[in-house]
Every structure is written in C-alpha cells, then in structure tokens.
Structure 1
Amino acid sequence: MKVYSKKEDIRTVVDALKDQNISLGLVPTMGALHAGHLQLVKTALAENDKVVVSIFVNPTQFNNSEDLEKYPRALNADVSLLEAVNKDDILVYAPTVEDMYGSTLESQSFDFDGLEHEMEGKFRAGHFDGVGTIVKRFFDIVKPHKAYFGEKDFQQLAIIRKLVEKYSIPIEIVGCKIHREADGLAMSSRNARLKPAYRAAAPFIYDTLKAAKTKFGIKSVDKIVEWVENQFNKNELLNLEYFVIADEMTLKPIKRKTKNKDYRAFIAVYADDIRLIDNIALN
C-alpha cells in the first residue's frame, strides 16, 4: 500500500481516477487508528470505488500543546490495519505539517453561524478554526465525492456540514454511528493512553448518558443536568467538564423540550489528564 506524503502526488493520482469516472470517498483521521476508524473506512468502501484515508495530526486544532505532543502517532501500524481491510482500493495520504501549511502555521478564521461557540468551542479556543482549515484543505486537494465522519465528534460533524454549505463545496458529508467498546466506551485514539484504573472507570460516561436519556422523557432539563453533575461529583476518578442537552440543529443548550425538534446530550470528561467526549441522541 503506497503512502503519499505530498499533496501534488495524491492530487495527480485522484485526478487520474476521476478521469476514469471512479467514485472517491475520503476518511480524514489523525491516525492511531482503531475499529471505529476502520468501520468508517469500510462504510466508505461500500459506497465508493476508491477511498483516501488521510492521516495527519493537525497542530492548529490543539489548544493544549501537551495534548498535541502526547497524541499517539503510529503510521506503520495504521497502514498495516488498512492493508488488512483492503490493499487495493485504499490510498493513504499522510502529509507533513509543511505540506499542509507551508511556512506559516496558522488557521483560517471561520464563521459557522455560531455552532463553533457552543460546548467544545467554549473550552478549546480556536479548535474549530483549526478543524475547518485542515478539512477544507483536504477537500481542496482530494476533491472526494463523499467524506465520512463519526458522530462521536457530533459538533465537528455539524460544523463540517456547515462548512460545505457556506462554501458551496460539492461533497456529500456522511455521518456514521459511534463505534463503542464492548463496555460502551466510545472508541477514541486517546483511550490507549488511559491508565488501567481510569480505563475501568470510563464506561461510567456512557452509562450516565443512557440514564440521562431515560430521564429525558420524565424529568426537566435542569433536573437531568443536576443529576448528572451529582453523579460525577461522587465519582473519584472522573471529572466532568461539561454536560449539555442541546438542540441538534443549533447545538444551543435548551431549558425545555419542544415538539418536533431533535435533542442530543453532550459530555466531556477528564480521566486523569485524558479528555474524553461522548454524546447520545435523546429523541
């Protein structure tokens, strides 16, 4: 499996494929691939002739330099996992920082109609400018017919859909269900960094989300938020950063439910120094 590191090279290859009317999917990742990533790739392969998997730890979407430094990088292992899925129809694009940003490492500024100011945006300054910058560059380079993103990063998925809408980018964005471990923990590259005690405690996050969903039909939003906060106050290992019940379209927190609207609960938790996010549809 050939790994492309320069945008000129991958662009030449995908342009030639398109000249043959070959459909092309894109799965953007930051590497350290797990079964959740591979499920995205399999979905993309089922819907396209060829799939580009990008592997790039994007520095401009990290507001914490230590998190960037510690983020797992395992390109050879990632390529081996992809080869086991499909050796012939996957192209790997693993650019350098210089290839993506040139000599100036900075993000473009975006207006995502306020989506960027909710939840993650309140705790990770500049994060979604970094996401928008790198995803738009991948779209410009690869020009896929479809691009695939997991719903674990539901706010990111909403923002990428807004990016495509506002810039009239002719790409279909496909959201894929959260892939979970057997004990319910949402799969994440960061899970590999969890110390054993914290890994054992982490399924509490999804258990709490499921309980909140059950309560959503019978309790007020304020009561549910208070209950979740109390649950984490009693947990000795997991520290709650936020729990929000929001409108799926606007991502704005709600105070009360309205008919004919879809709602989702979002959560961010620290397990020692590892930050974990998750969400669940409430309707």
Structure 2
Amino acid sequence: MYLFKQVADLKEALEHEKKAGKRIGFVPTMGALHEGHLSLIRDAKALTDIVVCSIFVNPTQFNDPKDFEKYPITIKEDILKLNSVDTDILFIPSVAEMYPEGVNGMHLHYDFGYLETVLEGAFRQNHFQGVGIVVHKLLDIVQPHDLFMGQKDFQQCMIIKRLLKITGIPSKLHISPTLRENDGLAMSSRNMRLNQTERQTATQISRTLTWMKENIRQMPFPVLKENAGKQLQDAGFQLDYIEIADAANLQLLDKTIEKEMVMLVAAKLGEIRLIDNMIVS
C-alpha cells in the first residue's frame, strides 16, 4: 500500500494509473476504521483495479466542536487494517492540505434542497454543507470512476447523489448495506467511545428498528413512532428523531406506501450520538 499526504503527489500517481487504463475506486473515511469500512474496500477491490482510501477528519462537517475534538484517531491501527484487505493507496492529508483557503475561508454553497432540511439536516446545522465541501474536494483530487459508501449514513448517501448531480462529476456511487455486530448494533466509529454499559444499551436501537419493521403495517405511524421512541427513552436514550420516510426521496410519511420505505433513528447515549436506519421493502 502506498501512502500519500500531498494532493499533488497523489494526483500524479493516479494520473499514471489512469493512463495505463486502470479503473479507480474510492472509499472516503474519517478513520477509526471497522469491518464496515473494510467491506467497502473489498467491494471496491471487486469492481475496480486501484482502490484509494482517504482518512480525513473533516472539521467543516462538525456542528459541535467538542464532537470534533473527541472523534477517535487510530491511524496506526487503520493502516494495519487497510493493509489486511490489500488497499492500494491511502491518502492522509492535513487540514491545511485540504483547506489551503482556511477552514473558515470562502467555500462553495450547495443546493441540497429538501434533503438538508430534515432529520440530520435539521439537527446538525451546516453539517451537509461541510460534507459536500470535503467530498467535492476529494472527488476533484482522486477523480474516481467509482465511489463506495455505506447505507448506515443513509441521508448522507442521498446528499452525495445530489452532489454528483449538481457538480456533474461522473463518478458512479455504490451504496453497500449496513454491517452489524453479532448483537445487531450498526458498526460505527463512534462505538469506540461507548463504555461497557453504554455498549450493551446501544443494541436497543437495532432492536427497536426491528420491532418497527415487524409492526409497520399493523400500527398507525404516529402510534408506531411513539411506542418506538418510548422504548429508546426507557432504555436511557435522549431521542433526536425517529421517522419513517420514502426511501427514494426521504419525504417523511404518516402512513404506509407501496414503495420502499426507510426507518431512521438518531439518539444520544450519554455524550455519544448514534444513528441507524432500516429499509422496509
């Protein structure tokens, strides 16, 4: 695996590969890697010739400075994990390398429309603008044929689809299913910050989503969401939202539809904010 820290060096190396006819796959991450990230690398390896992974904790997408400061940094372990799945290239830029104009400098503003007004967009002001800024920068640098992301960040995946349309970037987005621990907890870098008791409690999110899925056609949505919210609050969560939406456009629903739906949850357990979702066919 080759490691790059400078944009110019990475671009030069990738240009050489592209001239040789190689297909480039890209997996952007913020590090603190887990099996979910590695599954994206494997997916990319199966479909492309050269797989690039980036590790960059992006300051512009954190609406809470404390959350940014406490985000887990495990670079040595991450490198070992990426080597174990034969990642070709790792890009680890500094903040100055990614934001030569300064983090608080002038940035593009993206029209994400309705997607930026609900759920994560409503609770994390400017979060998706920060995501758009950094992913646009990374895509301009790597210029991949294929981009790989996980379904756990369902709304973010929809934002990236919109970003690709807005910018005209021709990369093809591949969304892989959420990977879960044996007890159902969605794999997440933030899980590292949970203590032993919180880690056990956190499994209630997936249990509640499973319960909702089993009852979604038997209960009115307001009753279903109220009962699901009570399950989480009784377990010790502070609930941000629990919603059911059209999986195609994230329009919030008050009754079942004959199309794919998605149930989405965000809740805090102590200082740790966890999100999860589950598709209903």
Q: TM over 0.5, yes or no?
A: yes
Identify the residue that residue 93 of structure 2 maps to in structure 1.
95
Give the Å deviation of 1:103. Answer: 3.6
Query: Quick one: distance in 2 between partners of 1:161 and 1:278?
Result: 19
1:243 deviates by 0.2
Instruction: Give me the whole-angstrom Cα distance separating, in 2, the residues matched to 1:103 and 1:144.
Output: 24
Q: Which of 42-51 and 162-171 deviates more?
A: 162-171
CA shift digits 1:206-265 (9 cap, x unpaired)? 000000011112111111111112212322x32221101111122121112233x22100
With normalisation by structure 2, the TM-score equals 0.97
8 Å CA contact 1:240, 1:268 repeated in 2 = yes
Map of 1:118-157 to 2, 5 A cutoff? Answer: 118-157=118-157
> What is the CA-CA distance between 1:281 and the residue it aligns to?
0.5
Paired residues for 1:262-281 under 5 Å: 262-281=260-279
Q: Secondary structure at the match of 1:234?
A: helix
- Correspondence for 2:36: 36
Query: Unaligned regions of 5+ residues in structure 1, if any?
Result: none
In structure 2, the gaps of 5 or more residues are: none
Conservation of the 8 A alpha-carbon contact between 1:108 and 1:130: no
* Secondary structure of the structure 1 residue equivalent to 2:185: coil
Q: Which residue of 1 aligns with 2:217?
A: 217
User: Hey, what does 1:70 align to over in structure 2?
Assistant: 70
SS at match of 2:197: helix
**2:15 aligned residue:** 15
Distance (whole Å) between structure 1 residues aligned to residue 2 and residue 170 of structure 2:
27
The amino acid of 1:91's aligned partner reads I
Runs of at least 4 residues of structure 1 off by over 4 A? none
Contact 1:225/1:244 (8 A) holds in 2: yes
Amino acid in the other structure paired with 1:100: M
Larger CA deviation: 64-73 vs 99-108: 99-108
Q: Secondary structure at the match of 2:80?
A: helix
Instruction: Give the paired residue count.
Output: 279
Determine helix, strand or coil for the equivalent of 1:255. Answer: coil
- Provide the rounded CA distance (Å) in 1 between the counterparts of 2:189 and 2:229: 26
Query: What displacement does 1:184 show?
Result: 0.5
Contact 1:72 1:190 in 2 (8 A): yes
**Paired residue secondary structure (1:175):** strand
Q: 1:238 maps to which residue?
A: 237
| Secondary structure of 1:233's aligned partner | helix
Q: Percent identity?
A: 39
Contact 1:243 1:266 (8 Å CA) reproduced: yes
